[in-house]
Amino acid sequence: MISRLDTLLDWYQTLGPETVDRINDFYTEDAFFKDPFNEFRSREGIRQTYNHMFETLDNPRFFIKSTVMEGRQAFAVWSMEFGFRGKTMSIHGCSHFDFAEDGRVQSHRDYWDAAEEFYEKLPVLGWLLKRIKQKVKTRTTQA
């Protein structure tokens, strides 16, 4: 039997501009969503976030690495690969899902390090963040 988590993650792994509107099948109308850049309680907000992702990034794709489900709670470890300003990039993270009684997601929280996974890969800002991280690391190893 295919679980609600499997169905949801199959959608994520095939997510594209043409399939974003299937979000109603997977999220409650007032679903909570949070990631390092966004926080809202609205399926429409989630839809707009994914539409913006497809407008801003080149060919973003999710790859599910592992999952755990217990009752109505689930975790998925994933990577997202995409093009940005001519470079291929990836983000590694995990998502926590809480499913409603009807099997749709009522809460979705993504955990990933925006500094390491995104900002450090940008030319000027990346150099600055890596430099700061290096200084902090040097100070803690000397203490």
Per-residue pLDDT tens over the stretch 73-130: 999 999 999 998 888 988 899 999 999 999 999 999 999 886 655 555 555 545 454 5
Q: How many residues does the chain have?
A: 143
CATH of 4-112, one of 3.10.50.40, 3.10.450.50, 3.40.50.720, 3.40.50.2300: 3.10.450.50
Average pLDDT, the chain: 86
Distances (CA, A) of 69 to 44, 76, 95, 132: 26, 9, 12, 38
- Strands (E) in 1-142, as ranges, are 27-34, 39-41, 58-70, 73-84, 87-99, 105-111
